[in-house]
Chains A and B, each alone.
Chain A
Amino acid sequence: MNYIVKKVLTLIITVLAITILTFVTFTVIPGDAAVAKAGVDASDEQLEALREEMGLNDSIWTRYTRWIGGALKGDFGYSYQYNNVTVSYLIKTRLPVTLMLAGLSLLLIIVFSIPLSLLAVKFRGGWIDHVISGANQVAMAIPSFFMGILITFVFGLVLKWFQPGNFPSPSENFWGSVGYLMFPALTVAIPKIAMTVKFLRSSIEKETKEDYVRTAKSKGNDEQRILYVHVLRAALIPVITFIALVLAEIMAGSIVAEQVFTLNGIGRLLITSISARDYPVVEAIVVYLTSVVVVINTLVDILYQLIDPRVRVS
């Protein structure tokens, strides 16, 4: 219990530190928020009035406490780039697509990486193992934006399995939207599958050299059964942590995939907001994404020590 309390406290402090860091960063970088909002040709009086209205003339501490106070209530203020649109509204409308994409990517990673790594171990040193590890190297080496362009080109323009840019709304055509999302999800998942297979394969391989496997074998147990029941279970424990880390990378991958596949999600909102210098939106998204990652990591830490009591000692 003590451990969990400690973990949660660390979590809160980390998230607070992130908010301060984000806020300060966007205050120091060049660029005047008033100019961003009022346009290039605004007069000095207009800008001054706007700065006053936006509270930009207050001290950074006043602005931070005001901002964090609102943020705790889920109020991140108004967007600069879109007139009369709240940051919360923007995030709320963009979130479903990103969550769907992240969920699908994670599903693909799990569905592909476990069988592939088992195959690789089973046919250790054989041609299947070589093909898998070769494909792994290639998949890890391709940058995700390029992977996205390739997938768009092959499946969208040549094979015409989907129409790039024609993403159906999930509320109107759920399965149609899932079908479209398979391609960006693949873009996000392929390098991660490669990483997971590499990791899981060595984890399984290490496990098969353990004493208990030899004991099980000597007792005349079926080799298949040993691999699936005993070894895989033990080997999956470190993989849980690994997948949690991968989740953070899925978020990063989604930003690229949303851009290439013109999905209107959080990632694209982040990019447009950065180029439009819409700081309230950028701040909210950065805090949001980092919080998700930190929370997942904390959950995994807690879960991990529930699975493996040895962690509790340290």
Chain B
Amino acid sequence: MKKSLSFLIMLVLVLSTVLSGCAGGTSNETSANLSSDTQTEPVYGGELVYGMTQDLVSLDPHQSTDAGTRSVVFNLYEGLVKPAPTGDLIPAVAEEFSISDDAKVYTFTLRNGITFHDGSLVTVQDIVYSIKRYAEIQGESSAFSIALSSVEATDDKTVVVTLKEPDSEFLSQMTLAIIPEANADPEGNPIGTGPFRYVSYDVGDKLVVEKYDGYWKEGAPYLDKVTFRFLPDVTTAVTLLKAGSIDVLNYMTAAQVSELTKAQADAFRIVEGNMHLVHAMFLNNAYGPLSDVRVRQAICYAVNRDEINQFLFDGKSTIIGTHMIPDLKTWYNEETASVYSYDPDKAKELLREAGYENGFDLVITVPSAYDQHIDTAQIIADQLSKVGINATLEKIEWNSWLQDVYRGRNYQATVIGFDGKLNPSDWLAKYGTGADKNIANYSNAEYDELLAKALAAVKTEEKADLYHQMEMNLAENAASVYIEDPADFVAMNANFDGYVFYPTAAYDVSTIYQVKK
């Protein structure tokens, strides 16, 4: 009994020291001590625990549509081609490929000697099977199935994919996973050709993968074993990182990074990149005042994007001016970022021209679960008040947002981040007049014309030029207020290095290695 009592007293004492300890910590704030980029030398072997706050939907690669799942299964599966960190598509299961001049016939040559995780050789039949299975799962009405005309193995090395209409961006679809036809249960027993193979999966908790010794690429991967852990929230994840239960955590905020490095500066390596999202305040171009291009331009001049970047991301985000991320270098038009500068006087002048010298009321609808969007909307509302626009926030539940704003387009303005695939049309086709997911209700004849040309163009240069013009069109007509591609901070246990960012959903652990001491 005495023991239990002294235990309780001890507990009370400990609690009070912790409380005062916390108070002391916040007062002497130091700036984030980001680790320097010193060269490290890799050693083979080792185990890594990758912490993430998203959960997996399925291990069947043809079912996976959400970014979290795609990012993880990136390590298990490969397509005929796969994305490189630059956003280009490089040969994977195919050793080489060619596209016909009319962009209707895609020819792939199977990589010599490439094997699945069970050791069997990949055959052209497996490739045909995988493409057909993917089409079937996507459904008859899907864009993929509609585009596809036929898939044939012309010999035991060559697969020819033929399209109904020319489509020079179809190659990005060929990242779909190649899986063995012989495997009856792709969901429960995932087999692919990736650098890691499946070991075990606890639904909602963790996925364990191990190095595949027969991987076609020499020298990869470095690690022997990787565990992906699905964690409930970022706060918990940061605690686990400090405790050493996880080795990598991405999508951290600047504040979390500085908290982490303040305590143990040498224990972590901080890697900076981008989230590869278009973070923007979308404007409903069909709504009253916003249908006037001058009003939209005025809003663009009134919004100080640098202030948002500074406040939310410590100034580490990349400012954008159109609906494209800078890391898709081929497709990005960097001139769009400087179309608008922060200029409240110009904004007022434009509003006066448009007949709104006394301003107007604007409701910014934001999904209530996302602090980043709410904070951004708050800052914008404050900035808009300086030019006489009376903006108010309406926070709604995510499902209502999807229903009313995204699908119903019944809104005035909203703050959200859009991701996209590697092909530029995935980002930009939605601005075509009457397009299915045209959230901004944008309609511009010149844009539609450029879009049609861009989709038909085959040569990369010509295509890129057309997309650049479209991006400039969006910027000049202020289709929406494009803010930034948000900064993404990844914290790693300092024993590891080699993290690489991709402009698409991929957590590539094959490049991560243990640092030689």
Give A residues with C-beta under 8 Å from B.
30-32, 35-36, 39-41, 43, 45-46, 81-85, 89-90, 93, 111-112, 115-116, 119, 128, 131-132, 135, 138, 149-150, 152-154, 156-157, 163-166, 259-260, 262, 264, 268-269, 271-272, 275-277
| Residues of B with C-beta under 8 A to A262 | 231-232, 236, 240
Q: Which stretch in B8-16, B382-390, B466-474 binds the other chain?
A: B8-16
Q: A32: shortest Cβ distance to chain B, in Å? A: 7
A41 to B418 Cα, complex, angstroms: 12
* Closest residue of A by beta carbon distance from B233: A259
- A39 contacts B65, C-beta separation under 8 Å: yes
Residue from B15, B202, B232 whose CB has the most chain A CB atoms within 10 Å? B232
Number of residues from B at the complex interface, CB < 8 A: 48
- List, in ascending order, chain A residues with CB within 8 A of B35's CB: none
In the assembled complex, the CB of B426 is this many whole angstroms from the nearest CB of chain A, namely: 10
Is the Cβ of A83 less than 8 Å from the Cβ of B236?
A: no
Question: Closest residue to A136 on the B side, CB-wise?
Answer: B8
Specify which chain B residues have a CB less than 8 angstroms from the CB of A35 in the assembled complex: 399, 402-403, 407
Query: Could you list which residues of chain B lie within 8 angstroms of chain A, going by C-beta atoms?
Result: 1, 4-5, 8-9, 12, 14-15, 18, 55-58, 60, 63, 65-66, 139, 141-142, 187, 202-205, 229, 231-233, 235-236, 239-240, 242-246, 369, 397, 399-400, 402-403, 406-407, 436-437
Asked whether B436 lies within 8 Å of A30 as measured between CB atoms, the reply is no
Query: Closest CB of chain B to A27's CB: distance in Å?
Result: 13
Minimum CB–CB distance from B120 to chain A (whole Å) comes to 25
The answer to whether B243 touches A163, judged by C-beta atoms less than 8 angstroms apart, is yes
Residues of B within 8 A of A46 (CB): 139, 141
Q: Are B55 and A276 in contact (CB under 8 A)?
A: yes
Q: Contact check: which of A115, A166, A272 meets B245 at CB < 8 Å?
A: A166
Contact B57–A81 (Cβ < 8 Å): yes
Chain A residue contacts of B403, Cβ below 8 A? 30-32, 35
* Known A119-B1, A131-B9, A165-B229; further 18 A-B contacts with Cβ < 8 A: A30-B399, A31-B397, A81-B57, A83-B63, A85-B203, A93-B203, A116-B5, A135-B12, A138-B12, A150-B15, A153-B18, A156-B239, A164-B243, A165-B240, A166-B245, A264-B204, A275-B369, A276-B55
Closest residue to A89 on the B side, CB-wise? B203
B59 to chain A: closest residue by CB: A83
Q: How far is the CB of A176 from chain B (nearest CB, A)?
A: 14
What is the bound-complex CA distance between A220 and B18, given in angstroms? 50
Q: Bound complex: CA of A90 vs CA of B243, how far in Å? A: 28
Chain A positions within 8 Å of B56 at CB level = 82
A128 to B14 alpha-carbon distance, docked (Å): 19
- Whether A40 lies near B399 (C-beta < 8 A) is no
User: Which listed residue (B4, B58, B397, B406) contacts A40, Cβ 8 A?
Assistant: B406
Cβ distance A194 to chain B, nearest Cβ, rounded Å: 10
Contact of B203 with A119 in the complex, beta carbons under 8 Å: no
Residues of B within 8 A of A271 (CB): 232
- Is B203 within 8 A of A164, CB to CB? no
Does B402 contact A40, Cβ atoms closer than 8 Å? Answer: yes
Residues of chain B lying within 8 A (CB to CB) of residue A149:
235, 239
**Which residue of A has the minimal Cβ distance to B242?**
A157
- Across the A-B interface, give the 7 residue pairs with the lowest CB-CB distance, nearest first: A31-B399, A165-B245, A83-B58, A165-B240, A164-B243, A264-B205, A115-B1
- In angstroms, Cα B399 to Cα A168, docked, is 37
B63 contacts A264, C-beta separation under 8 Å = no
Task: For B244, give the chain A residue with the smallest CB separation.
Answer: A163
Q: Provide the bound-state CA to CA distance between A275 and B244, in Å.
A: 27
How many angstroms from the CA of A30 to the CA of B367 in the assembled complex? 13
Nearest chain B CB to A119 CB, angstrom units = 7
**Residue of A40, A45, A83, A90 with highest tally of chain B CB at under 10 A:** A83
CB of B141 within 8 A of CB of A116, answer: no
- Min CB distance A109 to B, Å, is 13
